[in-house]
Structure 1
Amino acid sequence: MVAVLVVLAIVAGVGWFVKNRQSTASAEGTTGAAKPVIAVSARTTDSDYYVQWLNGVKKEAARIGATLKIYDANGDDSQQILDIESATALKPAAILVDHGLEGIEPNVKKALDAGIPVVGFDSVISDSRAISVSQSDEKLSKLATDRLVKDTDGKATVIYAYVAGFAPLDARNKVWESVKKANPGIKQVAQVGVVNDSTAQQTAEQVKASLQAHPDTTVVFAPYDEFAKGATQAVEELGLTGKVKVYGVDISDADIAVLGKTDSPWVLTATTDPSNVGAVAIRTAFRAGEGKQTTKDVLVPPALVTAEEIRKNKISSVSQLVKYFPSLVTDDISPVAEAK
C-alpha cells in the first residue's frame, strides 16, 4: 500500500496529513508554544452525527489549547486497530478512541502499559485503567421506551432495529429487553439493522420487507438515528404514515430535517448534542493527559425531543435545538479552562 504525503503550508502554521486507501490520519493545531498532543482514533465519520461529534472535538481542542492527531478508519475495524498502534508510537498525552469494537483491546492495553491514558467514547474497552465517556445510553433508551409504552398504553406490535457488538447499541438493547419483559403487550415481531457506510438505506429496505411481512406493525423502535432515518423512509414509501410510528435515539441536523416534516412518522428521539459530547470527550482526554481526570466513567445526560417541539419552535439545526434544551450543553462535565 502506497502512502501519499501532502504538506500544506498555511499562514497560521503547518498541518499535515497522511492518507492511504483505508485510513486517514491528520494533525490539527497551530504552531507556537508546545501544546499537548491528543490522538483521536475514529472508527468512522460517515454520518452526520459523527461529523458533528468530531467538529465538537476540534472546536473544543482549539479552545483549550490541544493539538489533535486524527485517525479515521473509515469503518474498517482492522484499520482502527492499526491506528491505535500508530497513535501509541507517537507517545501523545492521551488517546481518545471513538466507537472502538472489541478487537481494539490488545492495542489499548499496549498504550496503557506505555503510560498513555486512553479515553473511550462509546467503545468496547474492558481494561479498568481506561476512562469511559458515554451518552448514558441506558437513559437514552429508557427515555424513548418510557414514552413508547405511555403512548401505546403498553400494547404495540414492534419492529426493532439493532446490531450487536456496538457498546452503545448493546447498552440500549438491555433496556429494550427489560421493557418487553415488563410489558407483555409489547410484541416484537422482527429485528432488523445493519451498520456500514449505507446504514440508513439498507435499514430502510429491511424495514420495508418486515412491514410487508407484518402488516399489523404499529411501531418501529430504532435506537440509533441512522436506523430511525431508514425506518422513517420505509414507512413513508409504503404509505403507512399515521399508522406506524418511529421512536428513535440520537440527533443531528439531518435528523432534525426528518423530524420536522409535517406528519413525520419519526415522532421523537432521545438524545444528547453530538458536538457537546465531542467537547466532553476531548476535555476528558486533555485532563487525563495532565493526570487530572479522576472520574473513570463520564456520563453525558440526555433529553427527550419530540417532532412536535421541533415543528412548533421551527428548529432546523442542533445549534438551534440547544437554545430550547439548554441541558444538552454540559460545560461543567470534565471542565477545562480556555487556553491563554
Structure 2
Amino acid sequence: MNRPGITRMLLGIGAASVLALTACSQGSSSDSPAASAAPSAAGSASTTVPPAFAGGEVRIALVRQLSQGDYFQQWLAGAQRQADALGVTLDVSSADGNNAQQPINLQQAINNDVDAIIVDHGFEDTVAPAIGEAVAADIPVVAFDVDAGSSVSEIVSLGQSDKEIASQALGVLETDTGGTAKVVYVYVAGYAPLDKRNAVWEQFKKDNPGIEQVAQIGVVNTSTAAATAEQAKAALQANPDATAIFAPYDEFAKGAVQAINELGLQDKVKVYGADISTADIGVITAPNSPWVATSATDPANVGAIAVRAAALKVAGLPVDASIEVSPALITQKDLRDRKITNIAGLASAFPSLTTPDIARIPWLS
C-alpha cells in the first residue's frame, strides 16, 4: 500500500509503463456513451504515468453523508467512472444521513491507510475533527460541499457555486411573479450548500419586499422527497394563497411537485428548484408539471472532478485549493423546446456543464 508521501517520491523515478485514455474520461456527463471509455493499451505521447497509477495501487476513500436521491447517485456514477479510467480503487461508504456514523467511516478510511480521502457532504462539527486527523496523517483530502473547519487551508475544497444556483432560480421566480408572491420555502440548516443558498434567499427577500415567505419546511433523510411532500401539502393547505415554492435541492423540489399534484394546484403553484438528474428532467417536462426552473451543475461531472483532484494530490501535482463549479439555468421551456430527456442530452445542449479542464490529469490524453 503506497502512502501519499511515498507516491510523491516515486514520481522522480519514472514510470515503468504508460497508460493512455480517451479525452472523455477526464469528465463526461453521466449518460454519455463516451463517459465509459476504457483505458487504451497504447502509451501517452506527453506525460509519464506515476508508478502507483500505472500499477493500479492507488486507493481513494469516498466518505459520504448521504447516498439516496438522484443527485447523489449520479455524482457517485461520475466519480466511479473517473476512478475506473484512472485505474484507481474507490472505497465507498455512506452514513445514510447518520451524522454520528460519518466520522466513524472517515476514521476507518484513515486507519485503512488509503492514499486520499474524498468527503462528500457532512456537518462541520462531526467531520471536521476527523478531516484534521487525516491531514495530520499526511492523507490528501478533497471536501465536497463540506465546511472543514480549521483544516480548510490544508485540503482541496470543492463546491458548486451555490450563490449562482440560488440566484438563477430566484431570478426566474422574480420574473414569473413580478416580484410579488407568497412563497413556501424548503430548507434544512447545517448543510453547507443549503446554508449558502439560504443566504441568497434571505437577501432576495430583503431586495424584493413583495416576496413573502409564508412557511418554511424541510427534512433530509433517506426518503427526503416523500417527507417533503407531506410537509409541503400541509403548508399549502395552511396557506391557500401561496403561489410558489422555492426548493433549492432536487429532492425538495420533487417532493414539492408531488404535493402540488396531489392537491391539484399545478396551475396555481410553481416550483423553483436546484440540481438536475435524468429523473428530474422527467419530472420537469411531465405534462402540466409545476416545476418550471432549476439551476444546476452535472452531478456526474462534479463527482469526476473530485476524483481527479484527489488523484492530483496523490501524485504530488498542483491542484487549486478551492474549486467552484458554475451552474447553468435550466428552464422547463428549454427542456421541452430542445426535447431533452436525459443528462446526456442536457450536456450536449449546455456544454458548460462538462468541465474536463478543471483538475485535468496530465497523463490522460
Q: TM-score, normalised on structure 1? A: 0.88
Aligned-pair distance for 1:337? 3.9
> Which of the pair is proportionally richer in helix?
2
Aligned-pair distance for 1:34? 3.8
- Unaligned 5+ runs, structure 1: 1-30
CA distance in 1, matches of 2:73, 2:363: 23
Q: 2:143 aligns with which of 114, 120, 133?
A: 120
Residue aligned with 2:220, SS: coil
CA distance in 1, matches of 2:363, 2:211: 49
Q: Say if 1:38 and 1:96, in contact at 8 Å, map to a contact too.
A: yes
Which deviates further from its counterpart, 282-291 or 320-329?
Answer: 282-291
CA distance in 2, matches of 1:57, 1:310: 26
> Which of the pair is proportionally richer in strand?
1
Aligned-pair distance for 1:281? 0.9
Aligned-pair distance for 1:230? 0.5
CA distance in 2, matches of 1:264, 1:62: 37
Aligned-pair distance for 1:199? 0.7
User: For this pair of structures, how many residues does the alignment match?
Assistant: 311
Q: 1:221 aligns with which of 246, 269, 278?
A: 246
Equivalent position amino acid for 1:106 in 2: P
Equivalent position amino acid for 1:124 in 2: D
Partner of 2:223: 198
Partner of 1:44: 66
Q: Say if 1:50 and 1:274, in contact at 8 Å, map to a contact too.
A: yes
Partner of 2:165: 140
Residue aligned with 2:128, SS: helix
Q: 2:134 aligns with which of 75, 96, 111?
A: 111
Q: 1:169 aligns with which of 194, 197, 208?
A: 194
Partner of 1:93: 115
Q: 1:252 aligns with which of 277, 280, 293?
A: 277
Aligned-pair distance for 1:254? 1.1
Q: TM-score, normalised on structure 2? A: 0.82
Q: CA RMSD in A?
A: 1.6
Residue aligned with 1:91, SS: coil
Residue aligned with 1:268, SS: strand
- Unaligned 5+ runs, structure 2: 1-52
CA distance in 1, matches of 2:212, 2:274: 20
Aligned-pair distance for 1:32? 7.8
1:313 is aligned to 2:352: no
1:203-227 CA deviation, whole Å, 9 max, x = no partner?
A: 1111111111111101100000000
1:175-221 CA deviation, whole Å, 9 max, x = no partner?
A: 00010011101100100010001111111111111111111101100
Q: Say if 1:100 and 1:120, in contact at 8 Å, map to a contact too.
A: no
Query: Relative to 1, partners in 2 of residues 1:40 and 1:34: Cα closer, same or farther, differing over 3 Å?
Result: same
Aligned-pair distance for 1:314? 2.0
Partner of 2:43: none
Aligned-pair distance for 1:277? 0.6
Equivalent position amino acid for 2:81 in 1: K
Q: Say if 1:65 and 1:339, in contact at 8 Å, map to a contact too.
A: no
CA distance in 1, matches of 2:304, 2:122: 18
Which deviates further from its counterpart, 306-315 or 47-56?
Answer: 306-315
Percent pairwise identity:
48
Aligned-pair distance for 1:137? 0.9
Residue aligned with 1:147, SS: helix
Runs of 4+ in 1 over 6 A off after TM superposition: none
